[in-house]
Amino acid sequence: MLAFSQLDRVLFVAPHPDDESLGGGGLLQRTFAAQIPVRVLFATNGDNNPWAQRFWERRWKIGSKERVRWGQRRRREALAAVISLGGSAECARFLNFQDQSVTSLLMQGNSELFEVFADEIRVFDPTILVIPTILDAHPDHSALGVALSFVLDLIENSGIQVWEYLVHRPQIGVPRRPMMLRLSPLEIERKRNAILCHETQVALSRKRFLQYAKAEEGFYAHAAIGVASDARLILKAHLEENGLNLLISARRRERLGTEVFLAFRSNGILMHRWRVRVPIFSGLAQIRDAISGKRLDDAVATWNGSSLNLKVPISRAPSVDALFTKLSSWTLFFDRSGWCQVSVASGRSLVKAPSVPNLLTLM
């Protein structure tokens, strides 16, 4: 059950302006009405949104100055939306990470991405934290979910309730059922008004955006570090002493330009970021350290119809205590799926989950 008390403090993380209204417009107005402390963190200003900006401003060329101006406009829209939901401008904070860069920051091991959110959580001291799910099809959303999973594990604040929300549904489907927050007709109308505050986004996608103003909002319980996620992209995952074996659902047309991203941790603190370039046909797959760019040992890729079997050598695999993976293939904007967390229990195999050099110290 989604419920709030006067002792709660709610921290809502939005990757971009408009996600607060689309993913949590009902929840936020419910918390504002309860007069409990609320903070909304906007990871980016939504400044890298060229097609909407071209349409709105009737210009083709968009440079850095134009993106900054666009981000400032989207910030104003976000503040208007928060106020329309019953909050105040003071409860919103903008962290100014670059729009559409979160996956790159995660894979580069950017320490600021982790430190900023760790500081915000420690300072605000929430009892309830609402974050984007790692299953979201938008790369900023899913990568931010992975980063926050690592942060939450390291700050070791077990008293926080963590809920996840999904804005962009992946093609692979999400088999688990969310907890539902039922909205009254008045709350639905207020959520609709908050969405309409994002004028630049509604201009091209009014019908799609207003579909989020419905009678229920869904939220998923957060899967802590080490717990397998329920995405059907990973058909099997097995971490053994000699490495990681993955069986991944993948269409034939997705072979071109396909990479598998690995974000994992060993010995509790050492962070690793690997990119595995998957060949079009079965054979060796190059592994590179995404932080240093150095070539590592090869993986072995085997294509079999609509699935990819990948064997990745990970030295000292039993010391791996957190592991996230993602199949990345070329898309225009959204991913086919987000990230999946693999169980790290030694010798444990996941079947049809309902659903090195340059080590980086996270904090």
pLDDT at 231: 65
pLDDT at 333: 76
pLDDT at 350: 37
Question: What pLDDT, in 10s, does the model give residues 197-210?
Answer: 999 999 989 999 99
The angle at the Cα of 64, spanning 60 to 68, to the nearest 5 degrees, equals 100
pLDDT at 132: 98
Q: Which fold has domain 234-361?
A: Immunoglobulin-like (2.60.40)
Most confident segment among 75-79, 107-111, 341-345: 75-79
Ranking 146-150, 232-236, 344-348 by mean pLDDT, the lowest is 344-348
pLDDT at 349: 37
Q: Provide φ and ψ at 11, rounded to 5°.
A: -115, 120
Question: What pLDDT, in 10s, does the model give residues 4-53?
Answer: 899 999 999 999 999 999 999 999 999 999 999 999 999 999 999 888 88
Domains 10-221 and 234-361 share a fold: no
Q: Cβ–Cβ contacts within 10 Å for residue 12, how many?
A: 27
**Which of 1, 345, 340 lies closest to 175, judged by CA?**
340
pLDDT at 241: 80
Q: Which residue did the predictor score with more confidence, 256 or 119?
A: 119
pLDDT at 317: 66
Domain boundaries, the chain: 10-221, 234-361
Q: Which residues pair with 236 in a beta bridge?
A: 247, 351
- DSSP per residue over 260-280, as a string? EEEEEEETTTEEEEEEEE--S
CA distances from 292 to 132, 321, 350 (A): 28, 22, 31
- The CATH classification number of 10-221 equals 3.40.50.10320
Question: What pLDDT, in 10s, does the model give residues 298-319?
Answer: 999 999 988 899 999 987 666 8
- The sheet carrying 92-97 orders its strands as 92-97, 38-44, 10-14, 128-132, 161-165, 216-221, 179-182
Average pLDDT value for residue range 320-335:
84
